[in-house]
Structure 1
């Protein structure tokens, strides 16, 4: 079996995970949505009989976009949260964001607070969730501009955790979708998918 090639024998479900930027460029969201749809569709064509599920903590941006696409393609949505729901919701500062969170959460098969996410800071808690998703996903989708800002629990940090965990043969590929974002200097990046698709 080649590196990144997934052995699905004995699996009843194929678990996708998502990590990515919260501040997606609004003009690029349709392209990002199409790239996420492409990833799911290619794996669906390769594995037509297995149930798909997506781990997404439903933070703003990449998490919710992937959840929306996954649900539209009949994937089960599982929501690991960094803290109890009422506390988590304080991070969603607009009524529209909170309503979107509730809409997606109501469509989830399950949600729970990740064990070990009781760290002292919110960054510790988000890091625990990122590590959980990196560790428990067969296929890892990363909406990332490729830049490391050194932030604990940020997208680059979660990618490093995924790289650590994928030394085990039970993991399939990490698929990066190059993602322009509002912050930093990545606004002119071209949206594209990097990684081996079936």
Structure 2
């Protein structure tokens, strides 16, 4: 079983959702048995979880829980996906909210054999974001697969 983590854009055009899920399913079907790892953030992370489930795979959630935020389970869409998670790890790091997002994303990378980046290749971004997570995965020697509508820009 291959452990595949995900990182990606939170804000995606709704018109791109079907294309991204299709491309994720195509990628996942290329592996024999899939176990996903996701922070279940809005956008790419949730689309990835849907694709994993559609491919009869399993996934675990690594949730960033900033000190100042409400419990993540208050989000109905997140709560629905969490019912399918084989395991849930909550990560809280003191400091700004981005510190928890960075720590959770790095934990996804550490637990993964492969990282899927739903990403346009833009190296700009914030702490714990896609570009930083891809850079961390490269430092760790992880295989990285990029999925983006129309290819990598």
TM-score > 0.5 by shorter chain: yes
- Find the partner of 1:158 among 120, 133, 141: 133
The separation in 1 between residues aligned to 2:131 and 2:47, in whole angstroms, is 19
68, 75, 80: which is aligned to 2:57? 75
Segments of 5+ residues of structure 2 without an aligned counterpart are: none
1:109 correspondence with 2:79: no
Residue 32 (structure 1) aligns with:
20
Cα deviations across residues 147-196 of structure 1 (Å, max 9, x unaligned)? 12241111000001001001xxxx4x2100125xxxxxxxxxx2x379xx
Number of the residue aligned with 1:177: 147
SS in 2 for 1:119: coil
Aligned to 1:87: 70
| Equivalent residue pairs, number | 151
Q: 1:176 to 1:123 in 2, by over 3 A?
A: same
Q: Does 1:132 align with 2:132?
A: no
User: How much does 1:136 deviate?
Assistant: 1.6
Point out the structure with max Rg over C-alpha. 1
RMSD: 2.1
Q: Give the whole-Å Cα distance in 1 for the aligned partners of 2:87 and 2:152.
A: 29
Q: Which residue of 1 aligns with 2:10?
A: 22
1 CA distance for matches of 2:70 and 2:88? Answer: 14
| TM-score (ref. length: structure 1) | 0.70
The equivalent of 2:48 in structure 1 is 66
Q: TM-score, normalised by structure 2?
A: 0.89
Q: Work out whether residues 119 and 152 of structure 2, in 8 Å CA contact, stay in contact via their aligned partners in 1.
A: no
Name the counterpart of 2:119: 144
Gap regions ≥5 residues in structure 1 = 1-12, 93-97, 180-189
